[in-house]
Structure 1
Amino acid sequence: MASVVSICNLALSNIGKQNIQSLDEPGAEPRACKQFYEHSRDTLLQVYPWRFAGKTESLAEVANDKPGRWARAYKRPVDCLKIRWVRPEYSVRDPGPQTLQEELAYPHDAEGTTIYCDLSPAFLRYTAKLADPTRFSPMFIEALSWQLATRIAMPLTRDPKIRADCYQLAQATQSAAAEADANEVRETSDHESEFVAERG
């Protein structure tokens, strides 16, 4: 089962460093992991709409300070890293290319802790700041370990080549993880389409 420490140990192994038992133990390795882990995780979560990090919430309305532009204003959830879409009804399905036109029918804007749109009610689908590593996919964990390795390489090795190698592998594993996530969405959609066809 994945944990923050196990992911940090993957990153440390990627740059040839010894494993740690805790982020709070003394030493340069745990200190570097503690400094860069959350930032590396949140950066990776934000760059792609991972299925396991998706969340849908009914938005709470707040005072609208832009009534000339938007009909409604809502409070942005505190754990929202990236907005995916706003809709007038609850849904956990993320839009594919076939529903892009539908999504454009529900424009929105975000500023600080406020989301503006013309819908009431309004449901937000977003990427959450997910802290529980047991919910990460294996390929996301692999990509995160290289993302973190890129961050800690210079503080722990002072070797630009190691950092450059980590960066290349971070990009490659991120792309592979995103592709696997996208394929899972397509396979799920295909299965649902076949199920509907059989019922019809």
Structure 2
Amino acid sequence: MTSPVEICNRALDKLGSAAITSLDDNVKSARACARMFDAVRDAELRDHQWNFATARASLPELEEVPVYGFARQYQLPGDCLKVVEVEPTADWKIEGRRLLTNVSAPVRIKYIRRVGDTSSFDALFVETLAARMAQELCETLTQSNSKKRVAQDDYAQAVRRARRADAIEGTADALEETSWIKARF
């Protein structure tokens, strides 16, 4: 099982900093990790359609109608970080914690959810998150431009590797047959 402390220690290892035993430790590195971890985790989850963080939901329609532009609005799940897909297909927008559209219920979404349980993280996501934490912590802990460049390169490489592995899990999405595709084939 991977814990936030283990992920932070992996990041600290990348920077050559001492390990921590808790995010509550009274040392600069632990305070920085505690301050950044949740925000960096959520940003990294939002940056890609990670399979382990993907969920589906049917949304409840709200009684309140948008002031203009759309006829209906739906409440997003509390753990929703990013909407990836809406069914049935129609124009839609996210405003606040609501999805606005003209489609009648039921509206179903595929979305990226906030995953707080780090033991659910994919192993390559753990490495990517640790690399991103190292990049974020670098200035605070090292004030070294060369270490910052190394951390940025390490993060870019971790992201490529994790996304490549994540992308090949499952069958490929079928291309919608549009007039452009029909004309090409």
Q: Tell me whether the two structures share a fold, i.e. TM-score over 0.5.
A: yes
Equivalent residue number for residue 166 of structure 2:
181
Provide the residue aligned with 1:153 in structure 2: 138
Aligned match for 1:141, one of 112, 126, 132: 126
CA–CA distance in 1 between the matches of 2:50 and 2:15? Answer: 26
TM-superposed deviation, 1:53: 0.3
Structure 1 segments of 4+ aligned residues over 2 angstroms from their partners: 68-71
Structure 1 position 119, deviation (Å): 3.4
* 1:10 matched residue in structure 2: 10
Ranges in structure 2 where 5+ consecutive residues have no aligned partner: 174-185
1:96-115 aligned within 5 A: 105-115=89-99
Alpha carbons 1:59, 1:74 under 8 Å: kept: yes
Matched, 1:168 2:169: no
> What amino acid sits opposite 1:164 in the alignment?
R
Q: What does 1:30-179 correspond to in 2, within 5 Å?
A: 30-62=30-62, 63-66=64-67, 69-88=69-88, 105-117=89-101, 118-179=103-164
Q: 1:46·1:82 contact (CA, 8 Å) conserved in 2?
A: yes
Query: 1:15 offset after TM fit, Å?
Result: 0.3
User: Distance in 2 between the 1:81 and 1:161 partners?
Assistant: 33
In 2, the alpha carbon distance for the partners of 1:20 and 1:124 equals: 40
Deviation digits for residues 113-132 of structure 1 (CA, Å, limit 9, x no counterpart)? 21112131111211011111
Secondary structure class of the residue paired with 1:8: helix
What is the total number of aligned residue pairs between the two structures?
A: 171
Structure with greater helix share of residues: 1
- Listed one character per residue, the Cα deviations across residues 135-155 of structure 1 (whole Å, up to 9, x for unaligned) are 111111001101000011111
Partners of 2:66 and 2:100 within 8 A in 1: no
Q: TM-score normalized by structure 2?
A: 0.87
Q: Tell me, in whole angstroms, the C-alpha distance in 1 between the residues paired with 2:104 and 2:4.
A: 39
Q: Cα deviations across residues 72-93 of structure 1 (Å, max 9, x unaligned)? A: 21112222111011114xxxxx
Q: Is the 8 A contact 1:14 1:149 kept in 2?
A: yes
Give the fraction of aligned pairs with identical amino acids, expressed as a percent. Answer: 30
In structure 2, distance between residues paired with 1:69 and 1:31: 45
CA shift digits 1:54-113 (9 cap, x unpaired): 1111111111124x532321112222111011114xxxxxxxxxxxxxxxx332111112
Measured against aligned partners, the alpha-carbon deviations of 1:12-62 in whole angstroms (never above 9, x if no partner) come to 000001111100011011011111111211111011100100111111111
Contact 1:55 1:125 in 2 (8 A): yes
Greater mean alpha carbon deviation, residues 68-77 or residues 140-149: 68-77
- The two structures have a TM-score, normalised by structure 1, of 0.81
Q: Distance in 1 between matches of 2:148 and 2:170?
A: 33
SS in 2 for 1:109: strand
Task: State the AA in 1 paired with 2:8.
Answer: C
Q: Which runs of 5+ in 1 are unaligned?
A: 89-104, 190-200
